[in-house]
Amino acid sequence: MREIQIDKIIKTVKDLLIDANYHLGQDIVDEFDRRIQSDESPVAREVLKELKENVAIAAQGEYPICQDTGLAIIFAELGQEVHIAGGDFNKAIEEGVRQGYGEGYLRKSVCHPFTRKNTGDNTPIIVHLDLVPGDGLKLWVVPKGGGSENMSRLFMLPPSAGWLGIKERVIQTVVEAGPNPCPPTIVGVGIGGNFERCAILAKKALLRTLGGPNPDPSLQQMEEELLLEINKTGVGPQGLGGRVTSLGVHLLMMDCHIASLPLAVNIQCHASRHLEIIL
């Protein structure tokens, strides 16, 4: 059985969180470039240029891309042949988050729901852990901002709603969100499962590289159809109008109960921060 020491997990989570907050993925920057060329609105083109400049300034000076450095979400796939040595797995991840937000001078954004008293170290965190075959540990760190998370929605649709019902709700969610999630966004959509599973699917869908194809060709077609419709709404970059309301739509789907059609829409702002590593 392979051993992974918790010290390695703590350092990995810390480093990835700082890196994700300072450096936006090249996939997003490339998409900014492509859209700067294509949007017919001068205001939209100007906003996209400013977003790109912001990313460059953050990377140069080692600053966060956005003041909202997010609630830390960690997806983990732990091989069943791995022994976590030296301490508690969840506590190790939490310590990595604590150190990352401290040493990286990242804003602490977690508070008590009623008193609004800040917990001071950006914990507690959200961990989604899956046990998988093998002797590796795969980690995704996702610092997720509040503005885009607030505009996300979950619907328990009747099965008769079908694809048309799903499309209607996804577009409605994007339009109602307007400028609040700092568009251009990436729209994660989870279809099927149950109440909680479809929300996790929607969030996991956001981890895919922007512009990378959906492995399921029928879902790929649905993604293209949705993106086309969303970009006809005219919300535009930062909600100032234009054709680039979203940079991409990512779908994940699983089978569901015969009486249900669960749908979750997880909106991700342009500051789409996620990094992954295999230990």
Q: Which one, of 58, 19, 35, lies nearest residue 210 by Cα? A: 35
Classify 246 as helix, strand or coil. strand
> What is the Cα–Cα distance from 158 to 261, expressed in whole angstroms?
6
Q: Give 9 or 186: the residue with its C-beta nearer to ligand SF4.
A: 186
Residue 66 binds to ligand SF4 (criterion: CB under 6 A) = yes
- Strands 137-144 and 71-79 come out as antiparallel
Residue 182 binds to ligand SF4 (criterion: CB under 6 A) = yes
Q: Which residue has the tokens 């999630």?
A: 181
Q: Give 65 or 261: the residue with its C-beta nearer to ligand SF4.
A: 65
Instruction: Please report how close the Cβ of residue 116 comes to ligand SF4 at its closest, in angstroms.
Output: 18
> What is the Cα–Cα distance from 26 to 19, expressed in whole angstroms?
13
Binding mask 78-117 for ligand SF4 (x = CB under 6 A): ----------------------------------------
* Phi, psi (degrees; rounded to nearest 5) at 86: 95, 0
Q: Which residues pair with 127 in a beta bridge?
A: 74
Number of residues that bind ligand SF4 (CB under 6 A): 9
Q: Give 151 or 205: the residue with its C-beta nearer to ligand SF4.
A: 151
Which 119-148 positions form the footprint of ligand SF4 (CB under 6 A)? 145, 147-148
Instruction: Please report how close the Cβ of residue 162 comes to ligand SF4 at its closest, in angstroms.
Output: 31
Residue 271 binds to ligand SF4 (criterion: CB under 6 A) = yes
Classify 244 as helix, strand or coil. coil
Residue nearest to ligand SF4 (CB): 145
Instruction: Please report how close the Cβ of residue 107 comes to ligand SF4 at its closest, in angstroms.
Output: 10
**DSSP classification of residue 118:** B
Among 181, 188, 190, 236, indicate the residue that binds ligand SF4 (CB under 6 A). Answer: 181
Instruction: Please report how close the Cβ of residue 188 comes to ligand SF4 at its closest, in angstroms.
Output: 14
Residue 175 in tokens? 């339009």
Give the HSE-up count for residue 194: Cα atoms under 13 Å, Cβ half-sphere: 2
Instruction: Please report how close the Cβ of residue 68 comes to ligand SF4 at its closest, in angstroms.
Output: 4
Q: Give 66 or 199: the residue with its C-beta nearer to ligand SF4.
A: 66
> What is the Cα–Cα distance from 160 to 168, expressed in whole angstroms?
13
Residue 275 binds to ligand SF4 (criterion: CB under 6 A) = no
DSSP assignments along 182-197, one per residue: -SSEEEEEEEEE-HHH
Instruction: Please report how close the Cβ of residue 255 comes to ligand SF4 at its closest, in angstroms.
Output: 32
Residue 211 in tokens? 């512009």
What is the dihedral sign for C-alpha 136, 130, 144, 229?
positive
Among 58, 72, 264, 269, indicate the residue that binds ligand SF4 (CB under 6 A). Answer: 269
Instruction: Please report how close the Cβ of residue 182 comes to ligand SF4 at its closest, in angstroms.
Output: 3
Q: Give 24 or 253: the residue with its C-beta nearer to ligand SF4.
A: 24
**DSSP classification of residue 111:** B
Residues that bind ligand SF4 (CB under 6 A): 66, 68, 145, 147-148, 181-182, 269, 271
